Amino acid sequence: MIGKAPRWIIVVVGIVAFIWIVPIIGIVVTSLRPPEGVSLGWWRFDHFDLTLSAWRRVWDKYPLADSMWATMKTAGIATALTMSDNAAAYW
């Protein structure tokens, strides 16, 4: 479709994006608050302290650095092989 999108499509996409983004914001804010702040609800701002202690605990407990490195190697190899395979197809 060439031209401008109908206004109703923009409105529907905006509503769907809002419905998707609110829970994601809630998860991130909940992960950054201390336990006593989480019990109040992530949307309450009267006692709003942020901390990275939960993220540090998870990073220390699980081998995330090793997992991230393995994921980057796998993605890099897959990308390089895909690019070299596709480049050879055009010759």
pLDDT (tens, 9 = 90+) of the chain, 91 residues, equals 577 888 999 999 999 999 999 889 888 888 888 877 777 777 777 777 788 888 888 888 988 889 999 999 999 999 999 888 876 666 5
The phi-psi region of residue 5 (left if phi > 0; otherwise alpha if psi is between -120 and 50; otherwise beta) is beta
pLDDT at 87: 66
Per the listing, tokens 């010759």 go with 91
Q: How many helices (H) and strands (E) does the chain have?
A: 4, 0
